[in-house]
Amino acid sequence: MKRSLLPLLTLILTLALVPAVHAEDDEITVAVYYFGNYHLDARNQKHHGPGWTEWELVKNARPRFEGHHQPNVPLWGYTDEADPKQMAQKIDAAADHGVDVFLFDWYYYNDGPFLNRTIDEGFLHAPNRDRIKFALMWANHDWVDIHPKRKDDHNPPCLYPGAVTPEKFDEICDLVIRDYFSQPNYWKINGKPYFSFYELTKLGQNFGSYEATKAALKRFREKAKAAGFPDIHLNAVYWGRPNIPGEGTISDPVKMIEDLGFDSVTSYVWIHHVGLPQLVTDYNWVRDAYFQHWDRARTSFKIPYIPNVSMGWDSSPRADQRDEFGNFGYPFTNTIGNNTPENFKKALELTKARILADPNCPRILNINSWNEWTEGSYLEPDTRNGFGYLDAIKEIFK
């Protein structure tokens, strides 16, 4: 009895149509967001005083409710990420535990850069920088004064507006191509440098219309091609639940992202999609709720969706420690509990299985975060769990 060739032909056609972002094997690229506010920066010195870094909030954090574990103490001490030698320690730990890419939260405003010493002086001058790739996520949100924030301060002042002029946008594109894309260990997908935008509402405000925004992104691509790259892999971060004060939402993110010609879409943190109903919401419950969001996202978008795993959530260090703590609005928010290294490992294991089971899913995963210490989502070793979270990555992906 002859077997039908239709299933085989269907499989061949399906694989042929998979976008180029997908790998041909089961190897998954692990990219980790890196928030660089743990070094001396001129803006911070001017606003907070000499010697200030966000380590001050980590040091001063206190337990805010029964069973609350604060402060979290870094195993390596309060490191200076702008020091190449201390950055080298982070690079080795990441590379040794299966992290392939640092996705740096990158800041640039109309009046210049912010928090750039992490990359420019620390990472790019680390003697072992070639052990890991890096890429930029332009954190183009308003920088508001919340370090720390009082409970009753419902409209904290905006220190640095996220939107830039069209002229400045073009200058920034030139700078990114010249200073970062050209680096030998800049992360590329099919030869195209990966570049992500954090807040699409601010991107649109730069230009005022879909058409103008689309034209600006096209110019960005053309500049990269003129510099010798085949194109740019443009990635969009989106969410349904704003977090930091001043963040905006989009009524139809699918239409906006696809109209603007992005190559992929992703998430920054689970709580951008999942509400936390309890003061301490169970990690596994949040994981499963995020998986439901992932299912919706990968069917809603025609472009690939890159999934996210978050280590946890506790923004209480950014709340003024003198104020009552509760779910009053960022950073006074409910938290994620039971986010043990074991449960984090299980989330990674389930995510890996879901990626490999879906031929249309990019063989890429991003994690929140390397060092969001004041939001309770960090992989760097601490005195409580040691290298537990990094070991989890190593066991699942290395």
User: Does some domain include residue 7?
Assistant: no
User: Does some domain include residue 237?
Assistant: yes
Q: How many domains does the chain have?
A: 1
Three-state helix/strand/coil letters over the chain: CCCCCHHHHHHHHHHHHCCCCCCCCCCCEEEEEECCCCCCCHHHHHHHCCCCCCHHHHHHCCCCCCCCCCCCCECCCCCCCCCHHHHHHHHHHHHHCCCCEEEEEEEEECCEEECCHHHHHHHCCCCCHHHCEEEEEECCCCEECCCCECCCCCCCCEEECCCCCHHHHHHHHHHHHHHHHCCCCECEECCEEEEEECCHHHHHHHHCCHHHHHHHHHHHHHHHHHCCCCCCEEEEECCCCCCCCCCCCCCCHHHHHHHCCCCEEECCCHHHCCCCCCCEEEHHHHHHHHHHHHHHHHHHCCCCEECEEECCECCHHHECCCCCCCCCECCECCEEECCCHHHHHHHHHHHHHHHHHCCCCCCEEEEECCEEHHHCEECCCECCCECHHHHHHHHHHC
CA-nearest of 275, 266, 102, 274 to 200 is 266
User: Does some domain include residue 1?
Assistant: no
pLDDT of 6 reads: 38
CATH of the domain at 239: 3.20.20.80
pLDDT of 381 reads: 98
pLDDT of 371 reads: 98
Residues of the chain where predicted confidence (pLDDT) is lower than 50: 1-20, 23
User: Does some domain include residue 84?
Assistant: yes
User: Does some domain include residue 11?
Assistant: no
- How far is 338 from 347, CA to CA, in rounded Å? 12
| Domain enclosing residue 74, as ranges | 24-397
User: Does some domain include residue 58?
Assistant: yes
Instruction: Judge whether 250 and 236 are in contact, CB under 8 Å.
Output: no
User: Does some domain include residue 8?
Assistant: no
Burial (Cβ within 10 Å: 0-12, 13-18, ≥19) of residue 340: middle
Burial (Cβ within 10 Å: 0-12, 13-18, ≥19) of residue 48: middle
Q: Name every residue whose Cβ is closer than 8 Å to that of residue 238 and which is 6 or more positions away in sequence.
A: 200, 250, 253, 257, 265, 267
User: Does some domain include residue 12?
Assistant: no
Instruction: Judge whether 351 and 307 are in contact, CB under 8 Å.
Output: yes
